[in-house]
Amino acid sequence: MSSYLVFARPGTAVPDEGSVVLNDSFAPLAFAFPVFWLLFNRLWLEALSAILILGVALLMVASASFYWPGVVLGLAVSLITGLEGRNWRASALLRRGWRFADLVEAGDAETAFDIHTARAGAAPEQSRRLRPALQAGRMEAGANGAIGLVPVERT
């Protein structure tokens, strides 16, 4: 079972059919194709950074004396994107006005959304009681919190 983060669109009631359900785990496609994955998920600044760093890594690989450091740098970009890409996407959704609605453990995204719908529709008080640990954690941290390795400043 995986953890899924549910985000609600700005100004809508929870649950909403337009909600985004993110799997909070390693992203293999982000590891294999970091730049394309970042561009597909509209993470423009992260994609630009990845392009620049991978360009430097390519220049390093072209030089015989810097071949292995260039390979390690390219793999590091892929690994960091695979590990933190979904957290970057969650952070981008929060910046765009989406609100964090729920944290669900389920086997797949559809089941996670169904569980979220049942929690939000059946017992809002119970749903609120399940979130205190998360509110103290990374998604609802204080003014200087973080999502994964990315610092997030909230107002």
Tens digits of residue pLDDT in 20-42? 999 999 999 999 999 999 999 99
Paired tokens of 72: 């390690």
Question: What residue spans define the domains of the chain?
Answer: 2-153
Find, among 8, 15, 24, 7, the residue nearest to 147 by Cα. Answer: 24
pLDDT digits (tens, 9 = 90+) for 84-143: 999 999 999 999 999 998 899 999 999 999 998 888 875 444 444 444 334 333 444 444
Confidence of residue 152 (pLDDT cuts 50, 70, 90): low
Indicate if the alpha-carbon torsion angle 88, 151, 57, 83 is positive or negative.
negative
**Exposure on the CB side of residue 27, measured as CA atoms within 13 A:** 24
53 φ, ψ (degrees, to nearest 5)? -70, -40
Give me the amino acid identity at 105: E
pTM (two decimals): 0.73
Helix 67-95 × helix 44-62 angle, to 10°: 180
**What's the pLDDT tens digit per position in 5-21?**
999 998 887 777 888 99
Backbone φ, ψ for residue 54 (5° rounding): -70, -30
- The residues with which 104 forms a beta bridge, in sequence order, are 4
